[in-house]
């Protein structure tokens, strides 16, 4: 009876866990690696297990770092059912085909570059037909209703409060020898009092807990709804006074809907003007329609708003772009709020908007979610004065700000509360889905605070749940986060600054010559 870690191990991405007992093998999540180029390289590698041997998959929620390699799994031979909440399945009907289009488009651009360099072409990870095949395997499950996906396995889904349709899962296993173990997979956990969605359920009793630790080393300042609204109003108003744009990198799922909801509240309260709000993300438009379809998943406040309006996202100042030309036309507009994906600025239309707006001190870029190490968003929020986007050198002159009140991840205090309220504490906690520093600190604090053994698994680590014996399936370094590609971009920016600042052609020549000689050694 083993659990093996194939993602979200010492990094905040690529969630994938394989559980095996008797002759049954299944996965919890099958996510895509996002963030630095070195991490994303994992998406192109073969799975470290036989996809055809996997009997079924349990999904915690729809985010691509938890679901994005499902089409690849199907393409490689997986044919079993994929279990998820009904909302998650509806969200994935939009998200997986969109992810497939991104894979195909990115590979098309890469192959154009490879052709010019004399390099062989590469294949996309998967395409829309693979995404469609994955969607055909999905089976809906209800919260709090146990079911048996295989003999000796009982699964129960609970509300996670992270995004619409998100869950944590309790799995109870019994092998042919009669040995029993139970394990909870937290997925991504939300906290209480987040916009729109319901608060998370509390963890029931289990022998083991696989716990996310995105904010495992951080307790955020408590931000209530009024404070969050006041912060966003102040940002919008001072930017509008400068005649600038507010650019908000926002994930298409949940964060965009949270922001629309709050911006409408501010407009109704007259705390901001009739400044137009443009949602520039076709995927976000589709996902918003899913939100409208499931009002029974709203929290009490959103339900009250719904009863008074009929649609919590309906307002004359809110509009959605429908084409690339509509998106490009936003370059010519001032005094506008643009919500655009992706939330970490590594793909999608947000890169286009940053190229055209990041250099302008009249504008403001507002970050409203976690920025993983190695992403463009992290570089900007960490204070880089110049960044490279699509090969272009862009000065960071815009006002850069961050609002924590929108985070969908529980912080350290909220994660501890989940452990504390368990009727009986688990025998061991596996700390995952966090950067190494966050995970290690959180695991250490768990042991000190609760006297529960805790560990931070590495990629390809396998643990026998009957005796907590650990083995390594494949040697693997700690995932590279801020990698050589980030360093290369920084080097090119600093070199460009040097070339502009140094007027002597002789000194410039000698400096470059010395670099080349060092590289040749």
What is the CATH classification number for the domain harbouring 350?
3.40.50.10890
Cα 185 to the chain's mean position, in Å? 17
354, 377, 406 - which closes a domain: 406
- CATH (domain of 76): 3.60.15.10
Tokens of 175: 């092998």
Cα–Cα distance for residue pair 415/186, rounded to 1 Å? 10
384, 406, 428 - which closes a domain: 406
For residues 61-81, b (16+ Cβ closer than 10 Å) or e, as one string? Answer: bbbbbbbbbbbbbbbbebebe
Confidence band of 209 (pLDDT split at 50, 70, 90): very high
Tokens of 8: 């979200």
Residue 236: what pLDDT?
Answer: 97
Confidence band of 477 (pLDDT split at 50, 70, 90): low
406, 425, 448 - which closes a domain: 406
**Residue 388: φ, ψ to 5°:** -105, 125
Nearest to 26 by CA among 15, 18, 36: 18
Residues 16 and 140 in one domain: yes
Range of the domain at 246: 225-406
What's the whole-number mean pLDDT along residues 501-510? 81
Residues 78 and 206 in one domain: yes
Domain assignment of residue 477, yes or no = no
Cα–Cα distance for residue pair 14/66, rounded to 1 Å? 6
Residues 440 and 500 in one domain: no
Tokens of 451: 């006297």
Residue 480: what pLDDT?
Answer: 47
Taking only the tens place, the pLDDT of each residue in 151-160 is: 999 999 999 9
Domain assignment of residue 479, yes or no = no
What's the whole-number mean pLDDT along residues 20-47? 92
DSSP string, 260-291: HHHHHHHHHTTSS-S--EEEE-HHHHHHHHHH
Instruction: Please give the radius of gyration of the chain, using alpha carbons only, rounded to the nearest integer.
Output: 24
Residues 116 and 250 in one domain: no
Residues 330 and 288 in one domain: yes
Residues 496 and 425 in one domain: no
Decide: residue 223, CB within 10 A, 0-12 exposed, 13-18 middle, 19+ buried.
Answer: middle
pLDDT surpassing 80 at residue 474 = no
What's the whole-number mean pLDDT along residues 29-46? 89
Give whole-number Cα distances, 175 to 20, 34, 463, in Å: 10, 35, 16
Nearest to 301 by CA among 254, 256, 262: 262
Strands 461-464 and 469-472: antiparallel
Residues 401 and 415 in one domain: no
Domain assignment of residue 352, yes or no = yes
Place of tokens 């960490």: 382
Residue 469: what pLDDT?
Answer: 81
Cα–Cα distance for residue pair 517/431, rounded to 1 Å? 45
Confidence band of 483 (pLDDT split at 50, 70, 90): low
Taking only the tens place, the pLDDT of each residue in 342-379 is: 888 988 899 999 999 999 999 999 999 888 877 899 99
pLDDT surpassing 50 at residue 467 = yes
Strands (E), 296-384: 318-320, 337-340, 364-367
Give whole-number Cα distances, 460 to 8, 33, 47, 65, 207, in Å: 11, 15, 11, 17, 22
Nearest to 323 by CA among 346, 358, 349, 341: 349
- Crossing angle for the helix pair 484-501 and 505-520, nearest 10 degrees? 160
* Mean pLDDT of the residues in the chain: 92
Q: How many Cβ atoms are within 10 Å of 472's Cβ, its own excluded?
A: 11
Residues 241 and 255 in one domain: yes
What's the whole-number mean pLDDT along residues 31-42? 87
Tokens of 250: 């926002």
Q: Where are the alpha helices (DSSP H) in 337-385?
A: 350-357, 376-381
Residue 6: what pLDDT?
Answer: 96
Handedness of CA 401, 405, 409, 411 (dihedral sign): positive
pLDDT surpassing 60 at residue 479 = no
Residue 322: what pLDDT?
Answer: 84
Cα–Cα distance for residue pair 143/89, rounded to 1 Å? 14
Residues 201 and 145 in one domain: yes
- Crossing angle for the helix pair 436-450 and 412-420, nearest 10 degrees? 40
Specify whether the CB–CB gap between 266 and 274 falls below 8 A: no
Residues 141 and 287 in one domain: no
Domain assignment of residue 195, yes or no = yes
Domain assignment of residue 322, yes or no = yes
Confidence band of 476 (pLDDT split at 50, 70, 90): low
Domain assignment of residue 312, yes or no = yes
Specify whether the CB–CB gap between 444 and 452 falls below 8 A: no
Residues 113 and 199 in one domain: yes
Instruction: Point out which residues pair with 138 in neighbouring strands.
Output: 82
Specify whether the CB–CB gap between 43 and 58 falls below 8 A: no
Specify whether the CB–CB gap between 39 and 14 falls below 8 A: yes
What's the whole-number mean pLDDT along residues 444-464? 95
Handedness of CA 287, 87, 415, 233 (dihedral sign): positive
Confidence band of 485 (pLDDT split at 50, 70, 90): low
pLDDT surpassing 70 at residue 493 = no
Strands (E), 241-310: 246-249, 277-280
Domain tally for the chain? 3
Domain assignment of residue 178, yes or no = yes
DSSP string, 78-138: --S-EEEEHHHHHHHHHHHHHHHHHHHHHHHHHHHHHHHHTPPP---S--HHHHHHHHTTE
Looking at per-residue pLDDT, the higher value among 335 and 484 belongs to 335
Looking at per-residue pLDDT, the higher value among 464 and 507 belongs to 464
Residues 393 and 463 in one domain: no
Cα–Cα distance for residue pair 513/521, rounded to 1 Å? 13
Domain assignment of residue 365, yes or no = yes
Specify whether the CB–CB gap between 26 and 18 falls below 8 A: yes
pLDDT surpassing 80 at residue 101 = yes
């Amino acid at each position: 009876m083993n659990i093996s870690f194939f993602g979200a191990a010492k990094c905040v991405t690529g969630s994938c866990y394989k559980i095996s007992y008797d002759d049954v093998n299944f996965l919890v999540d099958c996510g895509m690696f996002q963030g630095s180029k070195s991490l994303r390289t994992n998406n192109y590698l073969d799975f470290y297990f036989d996809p055809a041997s996997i009997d079924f998959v349990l999904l915690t929620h729809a985010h691509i770092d938890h679901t994005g390699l499902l089409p690849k799994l199907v393409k490689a031979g997986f044919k079993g059912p994929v279990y998820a909440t009904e909302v998650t399945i509806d969200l994935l009907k939009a998200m997986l085909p969109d992810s497939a289009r991104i894979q195909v488009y990115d590979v098309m651009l890469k192959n154009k570059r490879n052709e010019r360099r004399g390099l062989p072409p590469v294949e996309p990870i998967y395409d829309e037909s693979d995404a469609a095949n994955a969607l055909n395997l999905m089976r809906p499950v209800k919260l709090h209703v146990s079911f048996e996906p295989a003999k000796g396995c009982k699964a129960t889904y609970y509300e996670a409060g992270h995004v619409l349709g998100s869950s944590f899962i309790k799995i109870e296993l019994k092998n042919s020898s009669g040995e029993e173990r139970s394990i909870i997979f937290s997925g991504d956990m939300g906290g209480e009092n987040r916009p729109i969605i319901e608060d998370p359920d509390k963890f029931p009793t289990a022998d083991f807990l696989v716990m996310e630790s995105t904010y495992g080393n951080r307790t955020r300042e408590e931000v209530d709804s009024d404070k969050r609204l006041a912060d966003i109003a102040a940002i919008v108003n001072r930017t509008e006074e400068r005649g600038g744009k507010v650019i908000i990198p926002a994930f298409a799922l949940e964060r965009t809907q949270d922001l629309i909801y709050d911006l409408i509240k501010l407009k109704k309260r007259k705390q901001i003007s009739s400044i137009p709000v443009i949602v520039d993300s076709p995927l976000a438009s589709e996902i918003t329609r899913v939100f409208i379809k499931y009002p029974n998943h709203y929290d009490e406040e959103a339900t009250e708003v719904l009863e008074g309006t009929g649609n919590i996202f309906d307002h004359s100042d809110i509009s959605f772009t429908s084409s690339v030309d509509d998106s490009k036309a936003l370059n010519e507009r001032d005094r506008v709020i643009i919500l655009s994906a992706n939330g970490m600025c590594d793909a999608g239309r947000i890169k286009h908007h940053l190229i055209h707006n990041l250099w302008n001190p009249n504008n403001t870029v507002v970050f409203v979610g976690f920025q993983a190490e190695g992403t463009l968003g992290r570089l900007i929020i960490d204070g880089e004065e110049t960044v490279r986007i699509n090969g272009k050198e862009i000065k960071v002159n815009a006002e850069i700000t961050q609002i924590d009140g929108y985070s969908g991840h529980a912080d350290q205090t909220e994660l501890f509360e989940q452990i504390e309220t368990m009727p009986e504490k688990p025998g061991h906690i596996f700390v995952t889905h966090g950067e190494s520093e966050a995970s290690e600190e959180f695991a250490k604090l768990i042991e000190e605070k609760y006297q529960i053994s805790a560990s931070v698994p590495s990629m390809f680590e396998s643990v026998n749940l009957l005796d907590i014996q650990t083995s390594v399936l494949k040697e693997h370094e700690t995932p590279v986060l801020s990698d050589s590609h980030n360093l290369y971009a920084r080097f090119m920016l600093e070199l460009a600054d040097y070339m502009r600042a140094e007027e002597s052609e002789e000194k410039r020549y000698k400096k470059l010559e010395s670099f080349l000689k060092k590289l040749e050694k």
